[in-house]
Every structure is written in C-alpha cells, then in structure tokens.
Amino acid sequence: MNQILQTENKKQGAPIDIKKIVIFFAIAIIIFGVVLICIGSYAMITGTSKPEQPEDNPQVENTVPQVDIERTEDNILINIKHTKPIASVTYRWNDETEQTIETNNSLEISEEIVLPFGNNTLNLTVTDSEGKESNYVKEYVSDGDGKPVIELLLTKENKIRIKVQDSQGLKYIRYTWNSGNYVTVKANIDNLKLIDELVDIPLGQNTLRVEAVNTDSMITTKELEVKGVRRPVVSLRLEESNLVIKAEDQSGLKVINFTINGQKYQMNCQERKLIEYKHPLEQGENIVELTAENIDGGITEVNGKCVVE
C-alpha cells in the first residue's frame, strides 16, 4: 500500500514540472525577440548615419584628360580636353625627336600635325598642372598623294627643323625668311626621299616659307610664323667642392632647372638678368644636367661632369 501511494504522488507532481519548462521557453523566446529588435534598430541607425552622395556630385574627380586623335587625309588632328590646366603636350613619331605643342595652361588644346610616309607610330604625352602624365599610342600608314610632305618643327634650342619627305624622291628644297633671298638645299643622292635641315631663327617676328620639289617636278609650299628669341648664356665651373652656376640674359631669366646625379632642383629667377649660385657637391663624380629659360621662351641646355676629390 505504501508503495502504491508513493507512486501516485509522483504522477500528481509531473504536470508541475512541465509547466515550469513551458514558462522557461516562453521567457527565452521573449528575450531572443528583444535582442533581435535591438540588433535591427542598431543596423538601421548605423546604415542611415552616412548621407548618400548625390549622383551628380561624385566624390572622385575624373583626372584623366579626354583625348581625340583623328586622321584628316595626310594630317593628324589632336583635340585634348581636361578638367585641370594642361601644363604640357609632347608627341613623337617612331623614334624621332620629341616635339612640344604650346598649351598656355589651357583646359582645351587643338593641334594639327603632319603624318609622315609609311608605317608610323604616334606617341603622345599629356601632363596636367599637378604633374600627372597620360600617354597615348596610335599607329598609322600613309602612302601620300604624290607631293612632297613638309614638316616645320620648333626645337628646344629655338631653331626650326625643316623635314621634307617624298615617296618617289626629292630634287631639292628652298626656304626664305621674310621674303628675302632663298637658300637651296639639294637632296642627298644616298637618300632622295628625305631632306632634314636645321636652321636658325632671326630675332623678332618672322615668316618662314619653304618650297619642296620632287623628282616628278611636283611642288609643295608651306609657311610658318615664328618669333626668334635670344637664349640665356650659361656657364658651369667647379670651385672647391661647389658647383657654380652662372646664367645671364638681356630679357630676364624665368627659371633654371638642374639635375645632379638624378636629384632635381629648380630656381625661380623672377626676371633677374644675372644669377650666380653655388651648390655643394658630393665627393666623387657628379653628373650635371641644366636647362635655363628666359621670359621670351629662349632655352639653353648645358650638360657636364664634375669630380670632387
């Protein structure tokens, strides 16, 4: 009897244990729900704390110039647009000397250049006011129209390079400054397809006229307005362990850039007509490259080597 009564007491206590379990899980579910609500609220707050950037006001500015290079018969038209001032534009055909296009720190540049005969690669470099370079390369093939092709190129030394090509062969070219006497240059028998002449520019404003005649007696004429300027007079000398730079110009000096063993330096001259500057050198061999420019754009380049014992 005692055992039976005791067993019945255990069965009567079982519903009480189940009720506790149900209450426990109900409380756990409520707590879990509260946690989820808090996490969701935090995500909403952090997700909306940073305002969206308007589409018409991007954070990153496009710093790459827009360059369009088009062929027009036997010429190449270069159009450049940039959001920053364009400091310099240079181009080079194949492995020839690099040429400079005047920019005046403009935002837009347009220039037409002559396309040489044959297979050619155009290398173009655009540099903005912050010194960032953008390079472009395009290839062209030109058979010409049967007439000589004349290029008049301004060099860094303020000279004119007269470059004339013809697919059949040239007889001669002749040129004149300001309608004066003509100077004739005959084609070299070893290379009748090319005449390449470097000429000095007279001081002041000038008009250069060039005529080229090929072996078929076809003639091409081209003119160029150009200003001849004086170039700075520059000398370098070693004084003890110092490099002495002396530059003078009647119009006034604009800037002197020089490099010693790869290290670049610059002096703004503020239109002074005479500058003498001492720069300390390291012991041993020092390689010097210097460019002086006056206010008229005249440029003088000097290279040298100094050895400090």
138 vs 71, 75, 76, 133, CA distance in Å?
11, 14, 11, 17
pLDDT over 50 (residue 243): yes
Which segment of 56-60, 89-93, 157-161 scores lowest on mean pLDDT? 56-60
The pLDDT assigned to 2 comes to 37
Query: CA 268 to CA 192: how far, in whole Å?
Result: 47
Which segment of 33-47, 83-97, 131-145, 160-174 scores lowest on mean pLDDT? 33-47
pTM of this prediction? 0.59
pLDDT over 80 (residue 60): no
What CATH number should be reported for the domain whose range is 61-143?
A: 2.60.40.10
What CATH number should be reported for the domain whose range is 145-228?
A: 2.60.40.10
The pLDDT assigned to 18 comes to 62
The closest alpha carbon to 300, from 230, 250, 245, 251, belongs to 230
Q: Is 302 exposed, middle or buried (0-12, 13-18, 19+ CB in 10 A)?
A: middle
The pLDDT assigned to 7 comes to 37
pLDDT over 90 (residue 39): no
SS3 104: coil
The closest alpha carbon to 300, from 187, 156, 131, belongs to 156
Which segment of 156-160, 161-165, 233-237 scores lowest on mean pLDDT? 156-160
The closest alpha carbon to 139, from 127, 126, 122, belongs to 122
Helices (runs of H) and strands (runs of E) counted in the chain: 1, 21
The pLDDT assigned to 202 comes to 93
The pLDDT assigned to 5 comes to 37
The pLDDT assigned to 266 comes to 93
| CATH 2.60.40.10 residue spans of the chain | 61-143, 145-228, 233-308
DSSP string, 7-64: HHHHHHHHHHHHHHHHHHHHHHHHHHHHHHHHHHHHHHHHHTSSPPPPTTS-SS---S
Query: What are the tens digits of pLDDT across the range 206-239?
Result: 999 999 999 999 999 999 999 898 899 999 999 9
Q: Which CATH number fits the domain 233-308, given the four candidates 1.10.1040.10, 3.40.50.1220, 2.60.40.10, 1.20.1250.20?
A: 2.60.40.10
Task: Name the pLDDT band for 242 (thresholds 50, 70, 90).
Answer: very high
Q: What number is the average pLDDT over the span 275-281?
A: 94
Which segment of 60-74, 88-102, 169-183, 194-208 scores lowest on mean pLDDT? 60-74
